[in-house]
């Protein structure tokens, strides 16, 4: 397991990106829109993890609501897991409150799910199953058939 990324809510990418470029020493590796969350995301690779700056593109974006309530700042921490559905099932069986009981598609087309912060020290955790790993598993399965 590793920390895949830390999601930081910002009011404006245009304003936030230059400071992170200074801090991290390079420009964003990618910028994309995630329609589901109504955000624009600037992704900075930092070692094996990433920092993702999340700018709301609509007032009803979860990120817009977060900023209105708590101000800009760390929004979520994402852990990469091997099998997301199994992980969700295990956590739920042990009494962890889930926001998503089934994986859904996140930035970059990877499978993600959120845990409810009431179970995790008031921190929003996202679990992510890395796409390349899943493909590698599928390839292995196909090879073993």
- Cβ–Cβ < 8 Å for 96, 88: no
For the CA atoms of 119, 122, 123, 128, what is the dihedral angle to 10 degrees? 20
Among 7, 28, 72, 103, binds Zn ion (CB under 5 A): 7
Closest separation between CB of residue 108 and Zn ion, Å?
Answer: 10
Contact 123, 89 (CB under 8 A): no
Applying CB under 5 A, the span of 10-18, 70-78, 114-122, 129-137 interacting with Zn ion comes to 70-78
Q: 111, 134 in Cβ contact below 8 A?
A: yes
Q: Tokens in use for 14?
A: 């245009």
Please select the residue that binds Zn ion; options are 78, 84, 87, 124, rule is CB under 5 A: 78
Residues within window 36-65 making contact with Zn ion, judged by CB under 5 A: none
Q: State which residue, 6 or 96, has the beta carbon closest to Zn ion.
A: 6
| Count of residues engaged in binding Zn ion, rule: CB under 5 A | 3
Binding site for Zn ion (CB under 5 A): 7, 78, 126
């Amino acid at each position: 397991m590793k920390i895949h990324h830390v999601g930081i809510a910002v009011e404006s990418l245009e304003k936030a990106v230059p400071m992170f470029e200074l801090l991290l020493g390079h420009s964003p590796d990618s910028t994309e829109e995630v329609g589901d969350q109504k955000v624009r995301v600037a992704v900075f690779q930092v070692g094996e993890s990433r920092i993702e700056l999340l700018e709301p593109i609509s007032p009803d974006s979860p990120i817009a609501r977060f900023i209105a309530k708590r101000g800009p700042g760390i929004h979520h921490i994402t852990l990469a897991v091997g099998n997301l559905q199994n992980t969700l099932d295990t956590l739920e069986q042990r009494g962890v409150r889930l926001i998503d009981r089934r994986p859904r598609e996140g930035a970059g087309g990877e499978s993600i799910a959120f845990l409810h912060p009431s179970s995790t020290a008031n921190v929003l955790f996202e679990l992510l199953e890395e796409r390349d790993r899943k493909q590698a598993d599928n390839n292995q399965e196909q090879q073993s058939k």
